[in-house]
Structure 1
Amino acid sequence: MNFGVTAMSILTAAKLSRAPAAGLAAVGVLWGGLAASMPDIKARVGASDAELGLSLLFSAAGGVIAMWFAPRVGAALGRFAMPVMCLLVAAAFYVPLLAWDFLTLGAAMFVVGLAVAGLDILTNVEISARETRHGQHLMGFNHAMFSFAFAGAAYGTSLARQAGAGPDEILPILSVVCVGLAAMSYLPQVAQDAQQDTGQAARPPWAAVILTGVILMASFIGENSTEAWSALHIERTLGAPAGEGGLGPAVLGLVMGIGRLFGQVISERIGHGRLIFGSGVLGVIGALMIAGAGSAEMVIVGVSVSAVGMAVIVPSAMSILGARVGEKERALALSRAWMLGIVGFFIGPALMGGISELFGLRVSFVAIACVVAVILPAIWALEGRRARA
């Protein structure tokens, strides 16, 4: 690989992506902080694995509602849409601190899902519009910013927990970070054209939307299940000290960030379809390694393999769909595919909780490997439709 070309591609993407990259970074800060704090939050509300999983499932309802209305919100707020949603994400950090049992935690996660999913889809619509406008692949770089922010928040939270801090001290600090990112996510007037047609979209290619949604769902189940449960797996199943579990989600975010930066360049050489297929295989292998790990170190290795695999699936799938739709179709097509996919983002941890309650976390990660395997026939079908078109 020509590292000069790689660096130039990344620098170009960074120049074109300030606002949406800040938005996705805010999403990463939220999920990274919550994932690394999950052992403390679970103990705080006295929830079992199944109850924690059910609480996390409530965020799916908020996420789906946000996805449904996101195109209209984007059209109404225009260039202010991402800063407003970033501020809502900053406020969402405080909501889980109000929970006292798994039901109130579920209500809190509903609010979190509502805020974060709205920001998520608005940034992805903006990225796709910029890809079309500039003829440059940008999804990989922007999603790398999510991963690096996730890793930084998770690692910082892990260090704070080891020093004796709890969610009451940690989450408000991360909220302030998101306020700063809100200021960076403001769109200049010239970028507003991508938001104009979001409320008047044409009919998108629904078969491609559904297949993309299936890929996103399976990828999100694998990614977010590992984010939310790897810390508990390390600390509870393998008996690591409190705080060390946060290394699981931190490593996941860091490796995924690096993978997405290089994946952006690799996809330009071999195409998104082949990249997604190979990445899906690695995702399956990584989940199985986590399931069979006998030490915290082996879990970290498995998380790393899984992260390399899962890193490029979501941005590449979004690029494939975004390239197949016109300007007026884009917001509706991406929001509906994302709406289907984001269900997996929230169902994954709940699925893990239910299976873990019955059979343990090892079996849960085997189940996740089976779900990730669905990506392979789905991308084959999606690429086959493009070949026939």
Structure 2
Amino acid sequence: MTILQKRRTALGSLFFLAGLCFASWASRIPDVQTKFSLSESQLGTLLLGLPIGSLVALPLAGWAVHRFGSKIVIVLGAIGYMLFLPLIGYSSSVWMLVPVVVVFGMIGNMMNISLNTQALAVEDMYGRSILGSFHGLWSLAGFSGAGIGAIMIYMGVLPSIHYLVVSGICFLIILVAQSFLVKEKKSHESGGLVLKKPDALLLRIGGIAFLGMLSEGCMFDWSGVYFKKVVGIEPGLVALGYVSFMATMASGRFITDKMTNRFGRLLILRLSGFLIFLGLILSVIVPTPFFATFGFLLVGLGVASIIPVSYSVAGRSKLYSPGIALAIVSTISFFGFLMGPPLIGFIAELLSLQVSFVLVAIAGLGITILSSVRLEVFKNID
């Protein structure tokens, strides 16, 4: 392989590492609940530690990448994942577990910003879009982590041992990959803590990412409920909607780059928003197993490209360094991910689940509109 191909492979393995660690934690959440005898509400409170940690880390990550370069933040974040994942398994009390989960969430977003900043640097070296393939590897790691978790549970392996095995895999990845990362020059300019007003490009692409993450979060949390209560599918197939959505989202990220290079970033964003709209409307109008599954497949394809393309656009901001720009867009989009699922629940309680899914469909249409008007904001991004 050429040095550029080695850089891409090494970075891809670190995206995989990040997805594997997160999925490994998620696959054993029921065991954590059982270990500490947590009620549903107590577990929900514990799980808030991840988004709280992520939110705290967003401005810090942008500053750290801007100040020290993405390579050092990636390596430190990967080591942090390697160390804190087993700590979750070995936590002996809830009081010990909560801060560990919060730090775990912080590490996750430090990795998110630094990995995507590094990916933009490698993308520039290639001279074409490759960001989607990295996000595809993260999604693939999610499936792999869930599969490994299922095997560990079947074999009766304790979460602490499971997490140590994953940490061993992480250690090998870090050992091999770190030497091929791009070492950027340190910036001695003030990066702030992302408190400055975003420019027009970042506000627009942040709005698109917000709507994309709102749609993604709703699909993660409400797909199974929709298939159970609205589609009325038999109990053994309740997960069909979620699986179909995840399958096309993951696979769609591997074709995002090819489509983006051929048709341009703006056209892909417009098409993605329309697919989200079309898929959800179809699922609402014809809530049968066949059409709802097909609709969720379309939504997965639509969601697949939103974040990779949004990050790629944000990294080309003329006013901010890539790390700061990504942190700004991530901050805006993160609120969509947090707000979407509770909003669905509130509207479903007030009106119906189908009405709430129509509103998510309108969010998809909003992506198409935001990427189609006042195009001077997107000057020179393709």
TM-score (norm 2): 0.77
Contact map agreement 1:209 1:337 (CA 8 A) in 2: yes
Q: Which secondary structure does the structure 2 equivalent of 1:197 belong to? A: coil
Choose the corresponding residue for 1:120, options 105, 112, 119: 112
Q: Does 1:304 align with 2:297?
A: yes
Q: Is 2:189 the partner of 1:196?
A: no
- Contact 2:63/2:324 (<8 A) preserved: no
Aligned-residue sequence identity (percent) comes to 20
Query: Of 302, 306, 309, which residue of structure 2 is paired with 1:313?
Result: 306
Which protein has the larger Cα radius of gyration, Structure 1 or Structure 2? 2
Counterpart Cα distance in 2 of 1:341 and 1:134? 27
Contact 1:125 1:331 in 2 (8 A): yes
- Which amino acid in structure 2 is aligned with residue 386 of structure 1? F
Displacement of 1:170 after TM fit? Answer: 5.1
Displacement of 1:68 after TM fit?
0.7
1:64 aligns with 2:48: no
Which 10-residue stretch deviates more, 138-147 or 232-241? 232-241
Counterpart of 1:264 in structure 2 is 257
Which position in structure 1 is the counterpart of 2:325? Answer: 333
Structure 1's unaligned 5+ residue stretches are 1-10
Aligned CA distance change for structure 1 residues 246 and 162 (closer, same or farther; 3 Å) = farther
Q: In the TM superposition, what is the alpha-carbon distance from 1:208 to its structure 2 partner?
A: 1.0
CA contact (8 A) 1:95 1:111 kept: no
The one-letter amino acid paired with 2:8 is S
Q: CA RMSD in A?
A: 4.2
Distance 1:99-1:21 versus aligned 2 partners, 3 A rule: farther
TM-score computed with the length of structure 1 as normaliser: 0.76
Which residue pairs with 2:277 in the alignment?
284
8 A Cα contact 1:221 1:372, kept in partner: no
Alignment of 1:342-353 (within 5 A): 342-352=334-344
Task: Give the CA deviation at 1:146.
Answer: 1.1
Map 1:209-224 to 2 at 5 A.
209-224=202-217
Distance 2:362 2:92 in 1: 33
**1:116 & 1:79 partners in 2: Cα distance?**
15
SS at match of 1:137: coil
| d(CA) in 1 for partners of 2:158, 2:225 | 16
Deviations 1:309-365 (CA, angstroms, capped at 9, x unpaired): 111111112222223437x62222222112222333344445456566777866654
Measure, in 2, the Cα distance between the counterparts of 1:239 and 1:166: 32
- The CA deviation string for residues 38-84 of structure 1, in whole angstroms up to 9 with x for no partner, is 66667763215xx7666544433321221211134333476332122
Aligned-pair CA distance for 1:133: 3.5
Distance 1:177 1:231 in 2: 32
Q: How many residues align?
A: 370
Distance 2:172 2:305 in 1: 27
SS in 2 for 1:186: helix
Q: Deviations over 1:189-219 (max 9, x none)?
A: 7x212x5238645989611112212222221
C-alpha spacing 1:104/1:346, structure 2 compared with 1 (3 Å): farther
Q: 1:188 to 1:173 in 2, by over 3 A?
A: closer
Equivalent residues of 2:283, 2:292 under 8 A apart: yes
- Alpha-carbon distance in 1 for matches of 2:351, 2:33: 19
Deviations 1:139-194 (A, max 9, x none): 112111112112222344456557777856655544444344333441447x212x
Provide the residue aligned with 1:240 in structure 2.
Answer: 235
Q: Label 1:270 to 1:179 Cα distance change in 2 as closer, same or farther (>3 A).
A: same
The Cα shift of 1:27 comes to 2.7
